[in-house]
Every structure is written in C-alpha cells, then in structure tokens.
Amino acid sequence: MLLEVRDLHVEFHTRDGVAKAVNGVDYSVNAGETLAVLGESGSGKSVTAQAVMGILDIPPGKITQGEILFQGQDLLKLKEEERRKIRGAKMAMVFQDALSSLNPVVSVGDQLGEMFQVHKGMSRKDSRAKAVELMDRVRIPAAKERVGQYPHQFSGGMRQRIMIAMALALEPELIIADEPTTALDVTVQAQVMDLLAELQRELNMGLILITHDLGVVADVADKIAVMYAGRIVERAPVHEIYKAPAHPYTKGLLESIPRLDQKGQELYAIKGLPPNLLAIPPGCAFNPRCPLARDRCRTDVPPLYDVTESPVKRASACHFWKECLHG
Amino acid sequence: MPEPEPFEPLESYGEEGRAIASTGAGGASDLATAEAETLEKNLGGPEGAGPDKKARSLWSDAWHDLRRNPVFIISGLVILFLVIISIWPQLIASGDPLDCDLSKAQEGSQPGHPFGFNGQGCDVYTRTVYGARTSVTVGVLATVGVAILGGILGGLAGFFGGAWDGFLSRITDVFFAIPVVLGGLVLLSVVTSSTVWPVIGFMVLLGWPQLSRIARGSVITAKQNDYVQAARALGASNSRMLLRHITPNAIAPVIVVATIALGTYISLEATLSYLGVGLKPPTVSWGIDISSASQYIRNAPHMLLWPAGALAITVLAFIMLGDAVRDALDPKLR
Amino acid sequence: MGRYVIRRLLQMIPVFFGATLLIFLMVNVMGDPIAGLCGDRQCDPATAAQLEKEFGLDKPLWQQYLTYMGNVFTGDFGTAFNGQPVTELMASAFPVTIRLTIVAIFFEILIGISLGVVTGLKRGRPVDTTVLLLTLVVLSVPTFVTGLLIQLLLGVKWGWIKPAVSPEAPFSELIVPGLVLASVSLAYVTRLTRTSIAENKRADYVRTAVAKGLPRRRVISRHLLRNSLIPVVTFIGADIGALMGGAIVTERIFNIHGVGYQLYQGIVRQNTQTVVGFVTILVLIFLLANLLVDLLYAVLDPRIRYA
C-alpha cells in the first residue's frame, strides 16, 4: 500500500468554537491507482489532503488522532525536517487556482527549477534546463522561450500545466490534485485532466483526485470515497457507485447531475444546507437532509458498514444502506 | 502562442501601489492611508449579497466584534472621558488655568498642585485639564472639515470618473508634494489671531487630499460590486445609487482613516506651536504648554511631561480606536 | 515599461508647476517681500518702490511666477536676506539634510523591516504585541517631544552624544537626530511590513512553496518577503521627499544647519526668495523620489513591468 490514512481526526480552533473538520477518515491508495475523493466544500476532503501533505495551518488546525502511513511509515511521527524532504519529492500537490498558487513575482522557470535546487542540490543553470524539459513534458509550446516568463503571462490552462509540471518535477510516488480543473474553462478541463491521467500512468503514481465534479471522476478514477461532514460516507469502486449508490447522499449527488435522457424534468437537488462544522448534528450528520432518515439516524452514528454484495469490496455509512442500494 | 486571457487586476494593482507610494508628504497619517488601502480592497469582498444586507451585516458584525475588544473599550472610554472634561473641565479642576503666580514658577509637585507649576507659575494640572478642550476641538473640527471636504470631492471623483477625476487626482498630487509642517510655517506665520480657526482652516486646507484619495478608491471599489452594477442596470438614479448603495459600503475606510487622522491633527497642533506658528496665548492648549516648557526642559522636565503625556494618551486613544474599527471591519483579518 | 515611465514623467509636470505655484501663492500671503530685504529696519517708501520695480513686484502675480520660474530654470534662485545668493545657502544646507535623510532611511530599512517581518510572522505572540505597542507609543508622541526627550537623556543627562550638531554635521553626529527623524516613519514601516507579511503569509503561493518541500527559510526569503516588501519599499522610497521636508523639526531641536534651518530663517525673516527656492527643490526631490518608486515598483513586480 502506497498511502493509508487511518482514523484521521482534524480540528480547527476558531474564535467561535472548535470546528471538527475531519472526524475519522480512512482511505488508501496504491501505486498507479486513482482515488477520487468527492464531497461538497466543508466536507473535509481538502483538509484531509492537507494533513497528508503536511501543509495544514497549525494552529488553528490540529490533528487530534489517527495515522498517515506513507510507504509503511507514519508521517505524523516524523520530524518536520524529515517530512519536508518527502514533500515535493515523494508526494506532491496540484492546487486548484494556479494563478494564485504560483508566485506572481518569480518566473515560472525559477519556480520549477527551485525543486531541483532544493531537493537535488542542482545548480541554477542545470535546474533551468530541467525546467524547460518539464515544460516540454506538459506540452507547453515554446518552452525554451517562455521559461523566463511570469505566471500572469500564461493562460489559465497553461498555468495549470505548469502546476502539474511542478508537482511532477521529482517524479513523486503520490500526487494529490485538489480540484485541478475547477478554475478552468470546460474545453481546457478535459485536456488538463487527460494530461494528468496520462502522466500518472506513465510514472505509475498514486493519484488522489479531490473534486466535487462527478463527471470528471467517472473517466479517470478507480475508486471513490464520498465525504460528508468530515467522514467518509461511502467507499466503492467507481463503476459500482454509478450503478447503485449505497448511501442516500451519494444518491442525491448522482441524481443532481443533469442528464440528456431526462430533459424537461426537474433537476433533483439535495435539500437543506451543508452541516455547520461547529455543530455537527447528532447521529448521522446527513440526517437533517436525508429522505430516508428516521429516529435511529438522529441518535446513532452509523459506522462504515461493509456492504459487499458482489466480489468487489465496498462500504457505506448508512444504517439503511440496503434500502438505498436496492430501493 | 496567443494568450486569450488578459491579466485583469493589473491596472487596479498599479493604482493601489501608487496610492501607497504617494502618501509620503501627507506627513502625519500616511500609515492610516496605506493600511486603509487594504481595508478598501478587502471590503470590496467577493460576496455581494445585497446592498442593505451587506452594509448592515458588515457594521453589525463589526459592532459584535468591537464590543468584545478590550482595545476598543479602553480607547473608547479614554475618548469619552476627554470629551467630558473638554465640555466641563471644572468637574475635575477647580482652579483657573490663567491664574498664575510668577513666584512659584517651575516649582515641582506640592499639595493641591500635583503636577507642579510651569514657567509662568501657572498650575500645570489645571492647564493640562483645560488644554484638553482646545486640543479636542482642533482635532474634531479639523477632522470633520477634512472628512466632509475630502469625502465629497473624492467620492464624486470616484463615482463620476472622467476629466473631473483626473483633475482632482492632479490637485491632490500637488498638495501631497508640499510638506505639511512647511505649509503650516508659511501660511500660519502671518496669523496674529489667537483663536483656533486659522489652525483648523490650515489643517483642512492641507489635509483634505488624503481623505479624498481614500474616499475615491473606496467608492471605485464599491461601484464595482455586483449589486451596484445591478442597481445601475435596473435604472437607479445617480443620487440614489450614491446614497443608498455606494455610501454605506464606501464610508468605512473613510471613517477609519479619519479617526486615526484625528489623533495626528492633535499632534500636529502641538508641533506647529513648537515651531511658533500654532495657537497663541491666552488660549490654553497642550501644544502651547509643551512648546513653552521645552525651554525649561533641562531644569523642570515635569512641565513638559504632563501635557505631553496627556497629548500622547489622546493621540494613542484615537489611533487605537481607528485600528480596532478597521480590524473589525476587515473581513480578511477575521 | 517605457510607456509606463513616460506616462509617469508627463504626470509629474503639472504637479511640479502646481506645487510651485501653490507655494508661490502661499508665500505671497505670508507677507511683504520687501520688508525682509531692508534687513531689520523699516524700508523707506522710495527705496521700497524702487525695490518693488526692481523685483517686478508691481506686476501681476502670475507674471511674477513666470519670471521666477524662468530664472529658476537658468539657475538663478534669487537672493537671501543676508545678500547671499539662495543657491549658496542651498549648497551648504542640502548636503547636511541629505546626510540626515540617508541616516533616517537606513534606520527605516534596518529596524523597520526587521521588526515588521518578525511581528508579521509571529502575529499575536508576545513579541508582536510588544513591538506593536512600541510603535503606537512612537506614533502618538509628537516627533519634537521624542526629540527633546532623547536629546535631554542622551545628550544632557548621560552625555552619550553632543546635544547640538556641529555646523559640518558629519554622519557620526547625525545618528541620533536621524533616528528621531525616522521615528514616525519607522513605526509606519514596521506596521506596514507586519500587515503585508501577515496577509501574504496565508497566500496560496506560500502554501505552494511549503508543499514543494522548501525549507522554511527559503519559503520566507524567496516567496513571502519578495511579495510582502513591494508596498514597503515603495513607501520608503516616497518617504525620502517627506523626510527632507519634515526635517525642519529635527533640525531645530539638534541645531542642525540644514534645509529646515534655512527655511525657518527664511520664513522668520520673511524672505520669499529663500522659501520659494528651497521648497521648489524639495518638491522636485519629492517628485523624483516618486518616479524612482514607480520604477522600483516595476522592477519588483513583473505584472507592472510587462504592462
């Protein structure tokens, strides 16, 4: 197993109280595998990723419980300096908004080359050559001429390619992509996603794809973890989930995708608002918005039930998963 | 490869940098200006919920924060106290600030005269209490004048743009190029009146460009909000737009800067008095007392320390009040 | 870039003439320019009339302004109250004030930026609170009071420095006066740097730099500082002009014979030529400093450079 997150809990201490952002998340990724983490904003999907990368703001953030095993080693037990050496070199991250995530006053060549200078001790000149190589690799035209340019001189799609190039620079084992295509035009989204998937295959990397876009997931992911209020509510191979979701929340998400064959019908929407992390409802956090909710859901927190019915393993955190799966 | 997306924030970025860069000669309240730029920028916030809702929740959120902020409470109480003794100095000082006895000149603290006597043998405590009125009057009136003149001129320039805006920007540049203290020396050196009016008039004359620049920027930011654009599309009249939609959202940075500037005007009055062109006796003011005490500083520093201390606390209270309000209003710092 | 500089240069021209005209008008309000020319005595009417004609004071104000500016462009700044050409006074006064300003700017950069970086990074910690309080104290005490107290303590009570600066005003004697002159700006620089650092600290590109596995030092020096210092550097650049104009108070306290001293003399003696001449140069320095800031800004921020 390349990465295994076990029972991770993260809290944020704010002026208004303690926000429980992540409440016991388990997931894992193998080399060459793509895990899609799905959820609304505030579901804890990005916070989990930041905890894995070790870039959580501490304070106000705090990891209260859990393990993050990377190649068998618990990252949370490492010293900051040891973790730093892993960051960027063995695991890397692609952020959502490349314009703000790239330094506006440093040329892209320097920002790419920096990876080689810091982690490999290369000279400025050699690292510049490496930067050009990387830009070629993510198919930025005229890389040699553009290596000295600044982020604002590139288009949105090109900037995201630079982000990807930066993450790939040292050929890490794991890439975490946090909504890598959300900020892009629809036409560019597919190109960038394809590029990412292709490079992943080539380098046999594990990929954690954080997204709220089910359309993206279907094409590239191997398995899916759906998060809600800091917990995983459903975990399954991608095709199983599309066929028959085992959690009412996943079901709601799938039904809210516009489909051509349902043209003219009213689009489904999950009622209610995402939970307030300062006051997560007792019982199942989804109960106030759930069409299947009954008394038990308001008192008992559902564990992640093993709902395997076919050869492929899957899990759902719904007391009434059977109803959901078959109803 | 052609770049289809223009880099949008460029122009605004440049202008903002200019504004910070050019506040130099404004002297006293540059910092406020520079910091208000951020506030201005941040208040233009991403979510334009709706004009009234946004403005109201901004202020009520701020008030919610302020009531719990010790800095705000303390500075507010200090200012309240100052205002009260400015109106009724006899509440805490029974003497007459002009009742002096030369035989007691420069004497130190003694019963009934805790702060001692000044160079003319006047009671320092009484004069310090009575000095509050002049200093507060100068500060408040100069600020009100500057805020009204600068706010209106800058606000209109920001709202209408065009030639008038360009002209006003050059005029403010001209004023920024003249060091404030120097302007005071030149203009006030011929004044013989002992009232506070020439000093206030001078402060308004040289101070308005600072506020006008803030108001201009703040109106431009507010104007770009979606709901203001929507109101315009719905055919709201200019005056309605300005009064109902823009002013409530644009006024925050103006108030913050004006509050901080108030303190600096009080300080400026003292500096002008030290240079011999500020207020003149028989007016009682901290500036006059500090500057006359400065001649005796080696032998009787107490004469300087009391009024200077009172002045510093007053200025500090206004700066902290402005700071607290700015922090409360700045959504980014939450 | 070229267009940017040219635009700034063009904008400077009306500001220069506006500011000099403004000061010209102000000085004319100031009083009778003839009175100062006869020294301490009262001018007799005949001499006064003759002098008026000689200096063109019988002409309308706008003509006087044009004549004056014409002379200035040929290097003739007129005569000071003691019969010396104003340019001679300038030659002795400006080097002193420039030295004083250099000392002040040095302190702003060294102390202001360091304190700002430390407090910005440690926002809310005891260091931050302490420094913030100190800056508030500096901001709330008028510079002349700070100056007088420092002079009293360091110069008179403890004898560490000479209370008055000698006429030559070497750098070594200008350290304390320079610090006094810088004090208010220094507090601004500290606070501005602090705000800027604290704000940029949460920027996405800083998070990226951390995610790249860069050492903390490098994240701060290469990514955080470069962006945060842009507004600070521009503030300091613009402050050059303000410091030179504001040196009048510091120079009076420490008896420094610089620009402020000469201006003060000019105003007291109602010598319009001295006042207008010195202020014209100060305005010019202010404008040039601002132009420098604009250029610096473009150098520091590629988004401006490639506009």
Residue of B nearest to A142 (CA): B1
Structural domain that includes position B16: 1-39
Mean pLDDT of chain C: 84
Question: Is-contact C209 A103, C-beta < 8 A?
Answer: yes
Question: Is-contact A238 A223, C-beta < 8 A?
Answer: yes
- The candidate with the shortest Cα–Cα distance to C275, out of B207, B203, B184, B197, is B184
Q: What is the secondary structure of C227-270 as a DSSP string?
A: HHHHHHHHHHHHHHHHHHHHHHHHHHHTT--SHHHHHHHHHHTT
DSSP A149: -
| Residue B20 pLDDT grade (very low, low, confident, very high; cuts 50, 70, 90) | very low
Using alpha carbons only, what angle is made at residue B264 by residues B262 and B267, rounded to the nearest 5 degrees?
120
pLDDT above 60 (res B36): no
pLDDT at C35: 58
Nearest beta carbon to residue C213 from set A89, A100, A102: A89
Structural domain that includes position C235: 87-305
Q: Kindly give the confidence (pLDDT) of every residue in chain A, 327 residues in length, as a single tens digit, with 9 standing for 90 and above.
A: 889 998 999 988 887 788 888 888 988 899 889 999 988 888 888 899 999 998 888 778 888 888 999 988 888 888 888 889 889 889 999 988 888 899 999 999 999 999 999 898 889 899 999 999 989 888 888 888 899 999 999 988 889 889 989 998 888 999 999 888 877 788 888 888 888 888 888 889 999 999 887 777 877 888 899 999 888 989 988 888 888 888 888 888 888 777 667 666 776 777 778 888 888 888 888 888 888 888 888 888 888 888 877 777 888 888 888 888 776
Evaluate whether residue C120 is within a structural domain: yes
Looking at the fold, whether C48 and C98 belong to one and the same domain comes out as: no
pLDDT at B106: 65
pLDDT at C43: 65
Looking at the fold, whether C119 and C226 belong to one and the same domain comes out as: yes
Looking at the fold, whether C184 and C225 belong to one and the same domain comes out as: yes
**Lowest-pLDDT choice from B248-262, C44-58, C68-82:** C44-58
pLDDT at B239: 79
Residue of A nearest to B8 (CA): A152
Evaluate whether residue B88 is within a structural domain: yes
Looking at the fold, whether C62 and C208 belong to one and the same domain comes out as: no
Looking at the fold, whether B7 and B64 belong to one and the same domain comes out as: no
Evaluate whether residue B7 is within a structural domain: yes
Task: For chain B, list the contacting chains (3+ Cβ pairs, <8 Å).
Answer: A, C
Chain C residues touching residue A150 (CB < 8 angstroms): 302-303, 306
How many residues comprise chain A?
Answer: 327
pLDDT at B12: 31
Chain C residues touching residue A84 (CB < 8 angstroms): 213-215
Cis status, amide bond into A59, omega within 30 of 0: yes
Chain B residues touching residue A15 (CB < 8 angstroms): 334
Q: What is the pairing mode between strands A174-178 and A206-211?
A: parallel
Looking at the fold, whether B251 and B323 belong to one and the same domain comes out as: yes
B8 vs A181, residue with greater confidence? A181
Task: For chain C, list the contacting chains (3+ Cβ pairs, <8 Å).
Answer: A, B
Looking at the fold, whether C68 and C40 belong to one and the same domain comes out as: yes
pLDDT at B1: 38
**Percentage of the residues of chain B whose pLDDT score is greater than 70:** 74
B13 vs B130, residue with greater confidence? B130
Looking at the fold, whether C153 and C13 belong to one and the same domain comes out as: no
**Percentage of the residues of chain B whose pLDDT score is greater than 90:** 9
Any chain C CB within 8 A of the CB of A53? yes
pLDDT at C31: 59
pLDDT at C116: 93
Which of B5, B13, B65, B68 to mutate to probe the A interface, most A CBs <10 Å? B5
Q: How far apart are CA C78 and CA C76, in angstroms?
A: 6
Looking at the fold, whether C152 and C98 belong to one and the same domain comes out as: yes
pLDDT at B18: 32
Residue of C nearest to B332 (CA): C199
| pTM recorded for the entire structure | 0.81
Question: Are C227 and A105 a contacting pair at CB < 8 A?
Answer: yes
Q: Element (H or E) spanning C105, and its range?
A: helix C86-107
Q: Element (H or E) spanning A127, and its range?
A: helix A124-137
Looking at the fold, whether B128 and B266 belong to one and the same domain comes out as: yes
Question: Are C290 and B24 a contacting pair at CB < 8 A?
Answer: yes
| pLDDT 10s digits, B189-209 | 877 777 888 889 989 988 888
Looking at the fold, whether B73 and B222 belong to one and the same domain comes out as: yes
Residue of C nearest to A103 (CA): C205
Kindly give, in sequence order, each residue whose CB lies less than 8 Å from that of residue B8, ignoring residues fewer than 6 positions away: none
- The candidate with the shortest Cα–Cα distance to A250, out of A260, A259, A258, A240, is A240
Question: Are B267 and C246 a contacting pair at CB < 8 A?
Answer: no
Looking at the fold, whether C16 and C131 belong to one and the same domain comes out as: no
| Residue C224 pLDDT grade (very low, low, confident, very high; cuts 50, 70, 90) | very high
| pLDDT 10s digits, B289-319 | 888 888 887 777 777 888 889 999 999 999 8
Q: How far apart are CA A60 and CA A14, in angstroms?
A: 7
Looking at the fold, whether B117 and B247 belong to one and the same domain comes out as: yes
Any chain C CB within 8 A of the CB of A126? no
Evaluate whether residue C78 is within a structural domain: no
| pLDDT 10s digits, C226-260 | 889 888 888 888 888 888 888 889 998 898 998 98
pLDDT above 80 (res B210): yes
Looking at the fold, whether C33 and C103 belong to one and the same domain comes out as: no
Any chain A CB within 8 A of the CB of B47? no
Q: Once rounded to an integer, what is the mean pLDDT over residues B230-258?
A: 81
Q: Element (H or E) spanning A21, and its range?
A: strand A17-29
Looking at the fold, whether B198 and B304 belong to one and the same domain comes out as: yes
Which of C24, C44, C73 terminates a domain? The answer is: C73
Evaluate whether residue C229 is within a structural domain: yes
CATH code where residue B206 lies: 1.10.3720.10
Beta strand segments in B191-266, E: none
Cα distance from A160 to chain B (closest Cα, Å)? 14
pLDDT at B113: 65
Looking at the fold, whether C21 and C94 belong to one and the same domain comes out as: no
Question: Are A53 and C211 a contacting pair at CB < 8 A?
Answer: yes
Q: What is the secondary structure of C17-81 as a DSSP string?
A: HHHHHHHHHHHHHH--TTGGGGTTSPPPHHHHHHHHHHTTTTS-HHHHHHHHHHHHHTT---B-T
Nearest beta carbon to residue C192 from set B18, B34, B304: B34
Chain C residues touching residue B263 (CB < 8 angstroms): 140
C299 vs A165, residue with greater confidence? A165
Total CB pairs under 8 A between chain B and C: 187
Evaluate whether residue C79 is within a structural domain: no
Task: For chain A, list the contacting chains (3+ Cβ pairs, <8 Å).
Answer: B, C
Looking at the fold, whether C160 and C277 belong to one and the same domain comes out as: yes
Any chain A CB within 8 A of the CB of B235? no
Question: Are B3 and A142 a contacting pair at CB < 8 A?
Answer: no
Looking at the fold, whether C14 and C151 belong to one and the same domain comes out as: no
Question: Are B1 and A142 a contacting pair at CB < 8 A?
Answer: yes
Q: Could you give the number of structural domains in chain C? A: 2
Which of C21, C51, C73 terminates a domain? The answer is: C73
Nearest beta carbon to residue A152 from set B1, B7, B334: B7
| pLDDT 10s digits, C209-218 | 999 989 999 9
pLDDT at A112: 92
Which two structure tokens, joined as six digits, stand for C72? 């200035």
Mean pLDDT is highest, among B56-65, B106-115, B155-164, C91-100, for C91-100
pLDDT above 60 (res B4): no
Q: How far apart are CA C187 and CA C170, in angstroms?
A: 26
Evaluate whether residue C80 is within a structural domain: no
| Residue B139 pLDDT grade (very low, low, confident, very high; cuts 50, 70, 90) | very high
Which two structure tokens, joined as six digits, stand for C200? 């940029």
Which two structure tokens, joined as six digits, stand for B160? 């209408």
Question: Domain limits of chain A?
Answer: 222-326
Chain B residues touching residue C270 (CB < 8 angstroms): 189
Question: Are C204 and A100 a contacting pair at CB < 8 A?
Answer: yes
Evaluate whether residue C161 is within a structural domain: yes
CATH code where residue C100 lies: 1.10.3720.10
Evaluate whether residue C82 is within a structural domain: no
Nearest beta carbon to residue C267 from set B186, B297, B311: B186
Question: Are C218 and A152 a contacting pair at CB < 8 A?
Answer: no
Residue of B nearest to A150 (CA): B7
Question: Is-contact C259 C282, C-beta < 8 A?
Answer: yes
Question: Are B27 and C242 a contacting pair at CB < 8 A?
Answer: yes
Chain A residues touching residue B334 (CB < 8 angstroms): 15
Cα dihedral B223, B147, B257, B61 sign:
negative
Which of C28, C51, C73 terminates a domain? The answer is: C73
pLDDT at C182: 92
Nearest beta carbon to residue C290 from set B22, B313, B315: B22
pLDDT at B32: 47
pLDDT above 70 (res C158): yes
| Residue C219 pLDDT grade (very low, low, confident, very high; cuts 50, 70, 90) | very high
- The candidate with the shortest Cα–Cα distance to A111, out of A84, A91, A81, A88, is A88
Chain C residues touching residue B319 (CB < 8 angstroms): 136, 139-140
Mean pLDDT of chain B: 75
Evaluate whether residue B253 is within a structural domain: yes
Q: Element (H or E) spanning A14, and its range?
A: strand A3-14
Nearest beta carbon to residue C210 from set A55, A100, A105: A55
Question: Are B4 and A155 a contacting pair at CB < 8 A?
Answer: yes
A311 vs C298, residue with greater confidence? C298
From residue B233, alpha-carbon distances to B55, B230, B256 in Å are 20, 5, 31
pLDDT at C90: 87
Is C225 strand, coil or helix? helix
Q: What is the pairing mode between strands A223-228 and A34-38?
A: parallel
Question: Is-contact A291 A212, C-beta < 8 A?
Answer: no
Question: Is-contact A144 A58, C-beta < 8 A?
Answer: no
Nearest beta carbon to residue C213 from set A87, A105, A107: A87
- The candidate with the shortest Cα–Cα distance to A37, out of A189, A227, A241, is A227
Cα distance from A11 to chain B (closest Cα, Å)? 18
Kindly give, in sequence order, each residue whose CB lies less than 8 Å from that of residue B45, ignoring residues fewer than 6 positions away: B331
